[in-house]
A = this chain, B = another copy of it.
Amino acid sequence: MPRAGLSPAAVAEAAAAVADAEGLGALSLKAVAHRLGVASPSLYKHVAGLDGLRREVAMLAAREFGEVLGSAAMGRSGPDALRAVAAAYREFARTRPGRYAALNTAPPPEDTEVAAAFWRPVEVLAAVLRGFGIAERDLVDEIRAVRSSLHGFADLEATGGFGLPEDVDRSFDRMVERSIAGLRARTAAPR
């Protein structure tokens, strides 16, 4: 029998595809194996069981997400940068719901590699907000506020938390503009 030519990366990619298509909750060794045309036990040669599979998806997602946000921020600053990053954030969450959901889990504290990958997107946001001239000691609060808005919106949208699907774009735009206005106010009147 010919080999399937798997690799940890290929398995992670397939797993992410399953998560995006069926939901993170439906991520299973069975489904991934099926997608790869292989029997479930074969996956153990590449990932450490279901937990390992989840970890790889989280890693992959974090890297891609950091990449996407970083690209959006590149070459822009201030409000423009935040608008671009916010749009990219939501776009990622919408088009890759499984991966996005994988970012919304607490990795084991000892897994520094995942922790580092999870941190990248936050660093992008931090860089963008620094561009607003936020004082360093206020930065944490501002990052948390912006992250909360973006994550909350993305998550509510993903889980159908918004009743009517219409005008969700407008709501998002307004929310982002609200953040920008708040950041400007903070810059103008530092405490």
Contact = CB atoms under 8 A, between A and B. Distances in A.
**This chain: how many copies in the complex?**
2
B160 A148 contact: no
A188 interface: no
A168 B147 CA distance: 13
Interface in A165-182: 167-168, 170-171, 174-175, 178, 181-182
A156 to B, nearest CB: 6
Contacts of A122: 163
Nearest to A138: B174
A147 B156 contact: yes
A124 to B, nearest CB: 15
A185 B182 CA distance: 11
A153 interface: yes
A145 interface: yes
Interface string A82-124: 0000000000000000000000111000000000000100100
A131 interface: no
A9 interface: no
23 contacts: A104-B155, A104-B161, A105-B159, A119-B163, A140-B164, A140-B171, A141-B167, A141-B170, A141-B171, A144-B153, A144-B162, A144-B171, A145-B149, A145-B171, A145-B174, A148-B153, A149-B149, A149-B152, A151-B161, A155-B155, A181-B182, A181-B185, A182-B182
